Copies of this chain bind each other. A is one copy, B any other.
Amino acid sequence: MSKPRLARAKGRVTAAADPLGIICGSGAFPIAVAKVVQARGRKVMLFPIRGFAEPAVERYAHRWIDLGAFGRVLRLIQEAGCHEVVLVGGLIRPRLRHLRFDLTTLRMLPRIAMLYRGGDDRLLSGIAVAFEERGVRVRGAHEVAPELLMPEEVVGSFAPGRRDEEDIRFGLKLVHALGPFDVGQAVVVADQRVLAIEAAEGTAGMLARIAVLRESGRLKLPARAGVLIKAPKPGQDRRIDLPAIGPVTVAEAKAAGLVGIAVEAGGTLVADPDGLARATDEANLFLFGVRAPGKRRR
């Protein structure tokens, strides 16, 4: 019995001995992932994307990269001895002709152009496939740093009421109905009425719209009403595009006059849980990690 177990354990150690490559988009998550992975005893090599990643990534071993230079990225990953990468952080869809391409990328252009016709899912999935075809395995942030996943519980001091729970159920159903269209990871619902659905404007843009509609009197609601419901799209490749929640979204939800936020437990990234709990308490909002439909309670 001991032999195969040893072999399996050995395989695991070998994988962990390779540094994990972290392709860094914008925001705090690339650094949060690097921190957790390092704390678990694995080396990291960051590949921050110029114009997107935060300067603070330079605290870790890193090589800056350009969008559009996929050949160089592959070389750098090989030089660093990485066999696995994660893609973390924000990446606003760039306009093709604003990119500077290297040869490898140019060869991929017909495929990239195809991917551009679809939603963000198809674009990012295509990048993941391109990595894997070249022998680099794409892992999800939730796999290498599960500590960063939203728990199935209330974060902070406030809990949703019965009506809020109805709105959450309604909103989750709506998000899942939008799944086949590769859009809408977030909606705002107040008393079973859909106030907003996110598309190209992003969650911040959607929440700002609610604030403006309320201030202008176009949207007539009680002083505080509405729940932001955010969930991964069904069928979404969770390795590359999990939604995230942080203090900025909490502040935006407060500005929109909402009463709370519900995100899918295990399906949403949290860079700093303690900071997030403080932010929700200060904003007087509830933040609830809700079980995905069809999933059993742990």
Residue positions of A touching B, CB distance < 8 A: 92-95, 98, 116-119, 170, 173-174, 177-178, 180-184, 187-188, 191-197, 199-202, 205, 209-210, 213, 218-220
**How long is the Cα–Cα vector from A218 to B92 in the complex, in angstroms?**
8
Complex Cα spacing A112 to B55, Å: 55
Given contacts A93-B220, A95-B220, A117-B192, contact A184 B201 (CB under 8 A): no
Residue among A170, A174, A191 with most chain B CB within 10 A: A174
| Interchain residue pairs with CB less than 8 A apart (16) | A92-B218, A117-B192, A119-B192, A173-B181, A174-B183, A181-B194, A188-B199, A196-B199, A196-B201, A197-B197, A197-B199, A201-B209, A201-B218, A201-B219, A205-B218, A209-B209
**Complex alpha-carbon distance, A213 and B194, angstroms:** 22
The residue from B118, B195, B201 contacting A192, defined by CB atoms under 8 A apart: B118
**CA distance in complex: A173, B170 (Å):** 20
How many angstroms from the CA of A213 to the CA of B195 in the assembled complex?
19
Q: A174-B181, A220-B94 are in contact. Are A199 and B195 (CB under 8 A)?
A: yes
A224 to chain B, nearest CB (A): 14
CB of B177 within 8 A of CB of A201, answer no
Rounded to whole angstroms, the CA-CA distance of A118 and B192 in the bound complex is 6
A213 to B209, CA, bound (A): 12
Residue of B nearest to A166 (CB): B117
Minimum CB–CB distance for A275 against chain B, Å: 26
Whether A191 and B117, one on each chain, are in contact in the complex, defined by CB atoms closer than 8 angstroms, is: yes
> Are A205 and B194 within 8 A (Cβ)?
no
6 additional A-B pairs beyond A92-B218, A95-B220, A195-B200, beta carbons within 8 Å, are A98-B220, A117-B191, A182-B193, A184-B197, A201-B209, A209-B209
With A93-B220, A218-B92, A220-B94 known as contacts, the answer to whether A119 contacts B209 (CB < 8 A) is: no
